[in-house]
A = this chain, B = another copy of it.
């Protein structure tokens, strides 16, 4: 059972948007055992779309496409489907009723002709009713290939995938089992890990594949297995991963199929009855935003003081002028003092503080670009360390976030 994902839109090809729909669809299909052969992003252009349809026809069992279903002139997917299937658009009164309801509820304008055209659908399609928007999903079969068209708005697409597409695929096709599990490691480079685990890697059975996914201070190891029995495959993978602990155990920080590291930290805080606050200079609120993105963060996250200007470190966090003068703003004593100030201001139990210079120019402290101090205080310990990450602002932010989460995880979870 193989599928192609097609995302339609010039905005993807000219790099105006990053295509997150393809990643979502890839994950959703992989999870139920559909192997994605390829992802293709193409232009809002009838010829281009028809060519890709023909290439996929009978080469894959399923084509899932997103985009080009809006009400405006540049949206041509529906017309192209009609041409490919030799079909025509028909008016669907129940869709029109739904569009009118949406407009009366959310839009301060009457339904116009463009919106009305959203109620026209190919006569032979199976409809995926989109309760969250005006563009319906469509399922159409030609010979051995099913073509599915979904709106490009991520939220509406995701709804239709969960509600209709996945159940419909399960009903229509007989699916093999694909299992992926990804181990997170921090602190070793890709080639170092590969050398350490090379005996283990060479002994992998042929139906299990290993991939290395390196990214700024962490390397993820993914095992993918294909077979017929999910429980058996999962057991096999678990046994294989277990065999890595004696080799690189110190660097293993859980699995990606579990929660992301900030949620693991959150769970550890809840189980210990601790609350968390952050004092952020160079990370500028990014740590706080990562924690608060997750529903349920209010159970442990108290708040943050983003002391971007040096004076805020003094006025809000109570870092003394003498300390700043003596050690400069990017220093371990200042990072620790910031963490203490955060604990005092928020009455949290655990604090993380960051101060550093991400570049591109040297700051007032004259610290080398890439120098970052991270301090962590818990009821049981105080920790502070200085890192030299490099010259590039964007990477320095990501590396600091990764390192702060790794350190917090190490202190709270291990």
Chain A positions within 8 Å of B, measured between CB atoms, are: 9-20, 22-28, 30, 36-44, 48, 52, 70-74, 107, 109, 112-115, 153, 155, 180, 182, 189-192, 194-195, 201, 209-215, 222, 224, 256, 275, 278, 280, 283-289, 291-293, 295, 297-298, 301-309, 311-312, 315-316, 345-347, 358-361, 363, 392-395, 397
Report the minimum CB–CB distance from A26 to chain B (whole Å): 3
Interchain CB contact under 8 A, A74 and B397: no
Known: A18-B23, A27-B16, A285-B286. A309 touches B316 (CB 8 A): no
Interchain CB contact under 8 A, A289 and B295: no
Contacts of A315 in B (CB 8 A): 345-347
What 6 new A-B contacts, CB under 8 Å, besides A109-B189, A284-B297, A311-B347? Answer: A15-B30, A39-B39, A70-B214, A71-B194, A112-B191, A295-B361
Contacts of A201 in B (CB 8 A): 73
In whole angstroms, what is the CA distance A339 to B11 when docked?
38
In whole angstroms, what is the CA distance A153 to B270 when docked?
36
In whole angstroms, what is the CA distance A11 to B14 when docked?
23
Q: How many copies does the complex hold?
A: 2
What are the 8 A-B residue pairs with the smallest beta carbon separation, nearest first?
A284-B292, A15-B27, A285-B288, A15-B26, A285-B285, A304-B306, A39-B41, A303-B312
In whole angstroms, what is the CA distance A189 to B325 when docked?
54
Known: A15-B26, A15-B27, A107-B189. A304 touches B316 (CB 8 A): no
Known: A285-B306, A295-B360. A70 touches B212 (CB 8 A): yes
- A to B CB contacts below 8 Å, 17 in the list: A10-B209, A12-B39, A14-B36, A14-B180, A16-B222, A38-B48, A70-B214, A73-B210, A74-B210, A74-B211, A112-B192, A280-B288, A292-B306, A303-B306, A304-B305, A304-B306, A315-B347
Known: A15-B25, A153-B214, A213-B11. A43 touches B39 (CB 8 A): no
Interchain CB contact under 8 A, A70 and B190: yes
In whole angstroms, what is the CA distance A53 to B307 when docked?
52
Contacts of A295 in B (CB 8 A): 358-361, 393
Interchain CB contact under 8 A, A213 and B306: no
Contacts of A392 in B (CB 8 A): 155
In whole angstroms, what is the CA distance A44 to B222 when docked?
13
Contacts of A22 in B (CB 8 A): 12, 15, 19, 41
Interchain CB contact under 8 A, A303 and B307: yes
In whole angstroms, what is the CA distance A20 to B398 when docked?
15
Q: Which residue of B19, B212, B287, B308 contacts A74 across the interface (Cβ within 8 Å)?
A: B212
Interchain CB contact under 8 A, A308 and B312: no
Interchain CB contact under 8 A, B18 and A30: no
Contacts of A393 in B (CB 8 A): 295
Interchain CB contact under 8 A, A312 and B306: no
Interchain CB contact under 8 A, B285 and A304: yes
